[in-house]
Structure 1
Amino acid sequence: MSLHPKPPIAATALDSETLLRSSGLRVTRAAQTVLELLEHASQPLTHDDVVAAYTTATGEAPDRVTVYRVLDRLVEAGLCDRRVGADRVNRFSRHVEAASGNIFECDQCHKVLALPSDPELPKVMSRLGRELRKQGIDTRHTALTLHGTCGDCRG
């Protein structure tokens, strides 16, 4: 499995422009390229991975600070997710929309998958929320992230 995504294809340029505009972000070449790279990545990318993939896709190295800023803006706009692994490295991927709000993350390749809905889970999360409130903790949002090894890495 290749760590670096395929170079962006021209057809996605319009999609990335629309996504950026609808999220209130400036449409720049860097923002479009980074968003397209994350869209086509088979697994979450580190900052260094994004810089390397950007260079491969465009033939020119981007400014590293610009890439940091673009990634931060994409996270703030909800277009991508930032996850900090056990190795304390930030990894970025396109936002995973899970109907259940819950995800699985592979500890080896850091791939993120939406978990299927389970009718019992909201009840369990609600009970946990009530118990936390008894301890003075107010939860605004609850989501479950399961960690383990995906089928590709286990195989």
Structure 2
Amino acid sequence: MKTTPSHPKPPRAAPFDSETLLRESGLRVTRAAQTVLELIEHSSQPLTHEEVAAAYTATAGEAPDRVTVYRVLDRLVEAGLCDRRVGADRVNRFSRHVEAESGNTFECDQCHKVLALPSDPELPKVMGRLGRALRKQGIDTRHTALTLHGTCGDCAR
């Protein structure tokens, strides 16, 4: 009897649980916090405060308090659940936190999507040389991360 090799199915991603994420991050679980976190999680690109407020209105059926949205976004950033990036246009955009193994990211200048860069064995050496050069100038860095800017494949089409 011939058997066909079975290919295990990849594990299904667990459904997004904003309540647990907020609680585990030490944040209060409120309707506003859950809604904003879910909007950011399911967005394909970073959102401005105004875009978060508009999406909140569309989702909840009522306009949120603008100050509440600002405060929730600040708390999510402080807790490491989302990232805040300031674009060349000086507008804050919020997206889910990108965990890059290398610690480095790519940001599309058009849609502001953020992607993790792959690890490169030469990069730590380059960053170390840069850090040493800065220390010679009296500059002490606490954290180094590289962000490349350009146009993503979707926007280039």
TM-score relative to the length of structure 1: 0.91
1:56-95 equivalences in 2 (<5 Å): 56-95=58-97
Deviating beyond 6 angstroms after TM superposition, the runs of 4 or more aligned structure 1 residues are: none
Q: For 2:73, give the aligned amino acid.
A: L
Aligned pair partner of 1:120 in 122, 128, 148: 122
Q: Matched residues in 2 for 1:135 and 1:27: separation?
A: 46
Size of the aligned set, in residue pairs, is 143
**Percentage of matched positions with identical amino acids:** 88
Aligned pair partner of 2:32 in 30, 33, 42: 30
How many angstroms does 1:75 deviate by?
0.5
How many angstroms does 1:58 deviate by?
1.0
- What value does the CA root-mean-square deviation take over the aligned residues? 0.7
- Matched with 2:135 is 133
Q: Matched residues in 2 for 1:137 and 1:39: separation?
A: 37
How many angstroms does 1:140 deviate by?
1.1
1:28-75 CA-to-partner distances (Å, cap 9, x unmatched) read 000000000000000000000000110111111100100000000000
Q: Matched residues in 1 for 2:80 and 2:133: separation?
A: 29
Q: For 2:140, give the aligned amino acid.
A: D
- Matched with 2:12 is none
Q: Matched residues in 2 for 1:131 and 1:38: separation?
A: 38
* Structure 1 spans left out of the alignment, 5+ residues: 1-10
- Matched with 2:46 is 44
How many angstroms does 1:153 deviate by?
0.6
Bigger Cα Rg? 2
Q: Matched residues in 2 for 1:122 and 1:23: separation?
A: 30
Q: Matched residues in 1 for 2:91 and 2:123: separation?
A: 30
TM-score relative to the length of structure 2: 0.90
